[in-house]
Amino acid sequence: MRNTCFKTPINSYWVTKYFMSKPPIRIAITGAAGQIGYSLLFRIASGAAFGPDQPVILHLIEIPDEKAMAALNGVCMELDDCAFPLLKGLVPTSNLDEGFKGVNWALLVGAVPRKAGMERKDLLGINGKIFTGQGNAIAKNAASDIRVLVVGNPCNTNSLIAANNAPGVPKNRFFAMTALDENRAKTQLAQKASVDVTAVTNLAIWGNHSATMYPDFFNTKINGRPVPEVISHREWLEKDFIATVQQRGAAIIKARGLSSAASAANAACNTVYKLTHPTPAGDWFSVGVHSDGSYGIEKGLIFSYPIRSNGKDFEIVQGVPLNDFSKAKIAATEAELKEEKSLVGDLLPK
């Protein structure tokens, strides 16, 4: 294991005494030398994902390619140069067994981007194979409390593939990231209502992390009041708001020439933090989880729901009222996930 070589800062006695009594946990991150990795690793190492008192050892997984491994080495050098008090070790590797050995969390970010002329089915097939191998390696090597958050797209179906190729790992340990969509939606509503973003709560993204996702504004609250009571412009809510959230990824690519990276890394940190800390009373958050059939969704799909956590286990919030508009949107995103599942049927062991 590579050692991080930070020198003792003046206040390290107090940092150690008060914040570092917990043993380090191991976190695997695939695609560690990529765009999202470049933001994510530094946020995790500074405590943004697991908390300011949780030391971490980062297992950084990249493809066995000279350029990717050289870039990863550079990232490790920069992590060393940050002298993060919480960072207790780095394991840069292209070997999946080493990469997932003893890890408590796996953040699966690395995936092949969709290229011009590539059909969705082709992308699902190429990335699907990555996730069968990673699911297997996780089952073989990870710690017994492993939890897996898939960020690499199409993240719901990649998570489904990993979960179904990780024998022995409970399906409810697999997640797909929709927090970026939740954050985007909260900001759109806050700006429209001219309130601080912290005033927006109970925002659930339902379904797939794709253009069919449904940001449920009916049950979202602004300062405790339902959004339609605060924002009376119904056409904006039903059309512009939903379309803006659904198309935000494409808008970022158009503006930046690159896909969202820092905001995606932030959302990954938010997701881990929310799953590992109690949800504030009355609120919920969004993440794709293994469907148990709640709200009539096909069992086994990785579907984004309103979720609450007690810091250890999560639950799908029950009894959220859904009107016909919401039901139709949720049916559309479920249909897309079923279709994706059927396209990768050969990667799902019976």
Point out which residues bind ligand NAX (CB under 6 A): 30-31, 33-37, 61-63, 68, 109-113, 130, 151-153, 155, 177, 180, 209, 249, 259-261, 264
Nearer to ligand NAX, 172 or 259 (CB): 259
User: Is the Cβ of residue 202 or residue 260 nearer to ligand NAX in the bound state?
Assistant: 260
Residue 109 or 169 having the CB closest to ligand NAX: 109
Return the number of the residue (60 or 222) whose C-beta is nearest ligand NAX: 60
CA angle in degrees (0–180, nearest 5) for 80-86-91: 55
Neighbours of 317 (CB within 10 A): 18
Q: How crowded is residue 239: how many other Cβ atoms within 10 Å of its Cβ? A: 10
Indicate the residue whose CB is closest to ligand NAX.
34
Shortest gap between Cβ of 111 and ligand NAX (angstroms)? 3
Distance CA 8, CA 223 (A): 45
Gap between the Cα atoms of 63 and 105, Å rounded: 19
Residue 315's DSSP bridge partners are 308
Rounded CA-CA distance 81/79 in Å is 5
Would you list the DSSP string of 187-211? HHHHHHHTS-GGGEE--EEEB-SST
Closest C-alpha to 210, from 300, 304, 341: 304
In the bound state with ligand NAX, the residue whose beta carbon lies nearer, of 30 and 141, is 30
Longest dimension (CA), the chain: 60
Query: Rounded to the nearest whole angstrom, what is the least distance from the CB of residue 298 to ligand NAX in the complex?
Result: 21
**Closer CB to ligand NAX, 62 or 216, in the complex:** 62
* Separation of alpha carbons 36 and 151, rounded Å: 9
For ligand NAX, the closer CB: 184 or 329: 184
Distance, in Å, from the CA atom of 279 to the CA atom of 315, rounded to the nearest integer, reads 11
**Helix or strand holding residue 314 (H, E):** strand 314-316
Please, what is the minimum distance in Å from the beta carbon of residue 24 to ligand NAX?
A: 22
How many residues are given for the chain? Answer: 350
| DSSP states along 217-270 | -SS-EETTEEHHHH---HHIIIIIIHHHHHTHHHHHHHHHSS---HHHHHHHHH
- Active centre residues (catalytic): 209
DSSP bridge partners of 214: 206
- Minimum distance from CB of 75 to ligand NAX (Å)? 10
Q: Tell the smallest beta-carbon distance from residue 345 to ligand NAX (Å).
A: 21
